[in-house]
């Protein structure tokens, strides 16, 4: 981590960027080169701002990285859990709600997820944070199955199967054709839930994903 400098040593330029700009630059650097690429020097060059302007918005690099981690938690874990709680008439439809995370980076940012998992391999602290979020996401999936009257043990195993398939796709950075993966959706639903999705349920899912 880079040390902070005295906050009195700040640029007098009127253009200092913003906290959001520095955070966005850190996000892009993390995705492109891992946590090692998130240096104040490289971010300043990316934004065409002086390094000292950073300290108008953040105490030090640790604070920036903490904000980056919080952004990941809010988006990926928060949205994943929300999708498990979305209204559904059947477990098949509930699983299709979760599948939205598979196909929409606005809901679940797969590249961000892969970058955090790579960072966790280098940092026990981040690994601990990641483990907590994995538990929370699996617990939310398990609760979803239990709402549809699955026994707790069965709900847990089905939740883990569904979750780790998606994380496997993220970690392996699979680049399947959209049409191929979409054709597999009914089978995935049946494997994970033991229920075949209805045509109307699939049609709603395909429609919101813009797939015909």
What average pLDDT does range 131-155 have in this prediction?
Answer: 98
Q: How confident is the model at residue 90 (pLDDT cuts 50, 70, 90)?
A: very high
Over 60: is that where the pLDDT of 5 sits?
Answer: no
Q: How confident is the model at residue 6 (pLDDT cuts 50, 70, 90)?
A: very low
Q: How confident is the model at residue 178 (pLDDT cuts 50, 70, 90)?
A: confident
CA separation for the pair 122, 129 (Å, rounded)? 13
16, 52 contact by CB (below 8 A) = no
| pLDDT, position 157 | 98
Q: How confident is the model at residue 172 (pLDDT cuts 50, 70, 90)?
A: confident
What average pLDDT does range 3-19 have in this prediction?
Answer: 53
CA separation for the pair 34, 179 (Å, rounded)? 30
* Tens-digit pLDDT profile for residues 187-206: 999 999 999 999 999 999 99
**Cα within 13 Å of Cα(106), Cβ side:** 1
Q: How confident is the model at residue 182 (pLDDT cuts 50, 70, 90)?
A: very high
| pLDDT, position 171 | 82
Distances (CA, A) of 96 to 74, 88, 198: 21, 9, 11
The alpha carbons of the chain give a radius of gyration, in whole angstroms, of 20
* Tens-digit pLDDT profile for residues 28-51: 999 999 999 999 999 999 999 988
| pLDDT, position 15 | 56
| pLDDT, position 14 | 40
Q: Where are the domains of the chain?
A: 1-59, 70-208
Q: How confident is the model at residue 2 (pLDDT cuts 50, 70, 90)?
A: very low
Over 90: is that where the pLDDT of 160 sits?
Answer: yes
Tell which residue, 82, 72, 103, 80, has the closest CA to residue 181: 103
| DSSP code at position 9 | S
Tell me if domain 1-59 and domain 70-208 are identical in fold: no
CA separation for the pair 40, 26 (Å, rounded)? 9
Is 70-208 assigned to CATH 1.20.120?
no
Q: What is the CATH number of domain 1-59?
A: 1.10.10
CA separation for the pair 164, 145 (Å, rounded)? 16
């Amino acid at each position: 981590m880079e040390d902070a400098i005295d906050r009195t040593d700040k640029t007098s330029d009127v253009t200092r960027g913003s906290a959001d700009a520095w955070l966005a630059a850190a996000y892009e650097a993390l995705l492109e080169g891992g946590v090692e690429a998130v240096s104040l020097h490289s971010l300043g060059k990316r934004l065409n701002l002086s390094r000292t302007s950073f300290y108008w918005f953040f105490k030090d690099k640790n604070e920036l990285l903490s904000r980056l981690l919080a952004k990941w938690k809010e988006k990926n874990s928060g949205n994943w859990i929300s999708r498990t709680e979305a209204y559904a008439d059947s477990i098949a439809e509930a699983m299709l709600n979760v599948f939205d995370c598979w196909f929409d980076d606005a809901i679940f940012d797969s590249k961000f997820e892969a970058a955090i998992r790579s960072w966790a391999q280098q940092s026990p602290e981040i690994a601990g944070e990641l483990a907590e979020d994995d538990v929370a996401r699996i617990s939310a999936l398990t609760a979803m199955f239990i709402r549809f009257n699955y026994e707790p043990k069965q709900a847990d195993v089905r939740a883990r199967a569904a979750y780790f398939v998606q994380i496997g796709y993220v970690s392996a950075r699979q680049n399947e054709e959209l049409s191929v993966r979409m054709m597999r959706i009914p089978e995935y639903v049946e494997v994970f839930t033991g229920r075949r999705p209805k045509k109307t349920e699939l049609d709603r899912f395909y429609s919101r994903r813009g797939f015909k």
